[in-house]
Amino acid sequence: MANFSSDNQAAAHPAVLAALSLCNEGTAPAYGQDRWSEALTARMGGLFQCPVHVALTASGTAANALGLSLYTPSVGAIFCHEHAHIISDEYGAPGFFSGGGQMIGIGGQAGKITPEALAATLAASSQKMVKPAMLSLSMATENGTAYSVAELMALCDMAHAAGMGVHVDGARFANVAAALGGAQILPRCGVDVLSFGATKSGCINAEAVVVFHPAPGVAERMVLKSKQSGHSASKTRYQAAQFLAYLNDGLWLTLAGHANSMATLLAGWMQQAAGLSPLYPVQANMVFY
C-alpha cells in the first residue's frame, strides 16, 4: 500500500547507509575534528559557492533554533509566516535558544510573506516592542510552495535595510533547489543562515546549520550555543559522512527531483480521477487538498 503521509516516514538511501558503514571503521577525532566533518565544510562551500560555517545537529528544530539564536538577542524579534514551522510546531524553541527572542507571525497566501506585508509589520513596530532581528522564510513553505529568486531577493533586501538577518528553514530545501536550479540562490539573494535538512530526503537524523559569509566570532558562538543547549554531538563523523554521501554526484537533487515529480504526478492523477485540484501550486514534494 502506498504511503503518502510524510517524507519523515521514508527509509534512508542505500548510499547513505554505505557511507555510515565505511566511516564506522576504527577511531576518529571527536567534536568535528574528524576528516569527514572537515571535508563537509569544504564541500558546502563549493556547493553554495561562498565561505561557510557548518554545524551539525540531529534535528531540524535544533538547526532552526541554533541558527536563529546566532543573530537574535533576548530582546529581538523573529518575523516569520503565521503558519511557519518555527512558530507552530517547535514549542517556542527559537525563543528558548535565544534567551527570550519573540516570534511575530505575518499573514500571506500559500505560506509566503510578501514585501508589502513585511513592510507593514515593520511599520507597526513601536520603540518599546522587541527589536527586529531576523526574518525567517520556509523553503519549501508549509504549503509546499517556493519563493522565486525575485521574491527572495526583495525580502532579503528589505530585511537587511531594516537591520535584520535572514534565515531559511530548509527542512525540504533540496526540493526547492531541484525545482529552482541549485543551491547558490540563497547566498546570492542575501540569505545569512540556512537550516539545511537531509533527514526528510534520504539521511538519518542529519541536519546542518550553514552560515554564509560568516562574520568573526560566529563559529565560536555556534560552538558555545550548541554545547550549552545539549546539541554538541561528539561523533559528528556519522552525520558528516551521511551529508557527504547525500551531496555526492548530485544525489540530493536526484532524490528531491524524483519526489517533486511524484507529487506532480499525484496531483495530475487526482485531477483526472477525482476532479480534485490542489489548494496550492505543487512546487515541491507536497500536495494539499
Q: Residue 120: name the closest of 76, 164, 165, 79 by CA.
A: 79
**Residue 15 parent element (H or E):** helix 14-23
The 10 Å CB-count burial string (b at 16+, else e) for 201-219 is bbbbbbbbbbbbebeeebe
Instruction: Write the pLDDT tens digit of every residue in 74-113.
Output: 999 999 999 999 999 999 999 999 999 999 999 999 999 9
pLDDT for residue 19 is more than 80: yes
Instruction: Provide the pLDDT for residue 202.
Output: 95
Q: Give CA–CA dist 109/286, Å, rounded.
A: 16
Average pLDDT, stretch 260-286? 95
Question: Over the stretch 197-247, which tens digit does the pLDDT of each residue have?
Answer: 999 999 999 999 999 999 999 999 999 999 999 999 999 999 999 999 999
**Concatenated DSSP letters of 217-276:** THHHHHHHHHHHTT---S-THHHHHHHHHHHGGGHHHHHHHHHHHHHHHHHHHHHHHH--
> Quick check: 127 pLDDT over 70?
no
- Give the pLDDT mean for 17-21: 98
128 pLDDT above the threshold of 80: no
Is the pTM here over 0.85, yes or no? yes
Q: What is the pLDDT of residues 140-199, one digit of tens each?
A: 999 999 999 999 999 999 999 999 999 999 999 999 999 888 899 999 999 999 999 999
Q: For position 30, what pLDDT does the model report?
A: 95
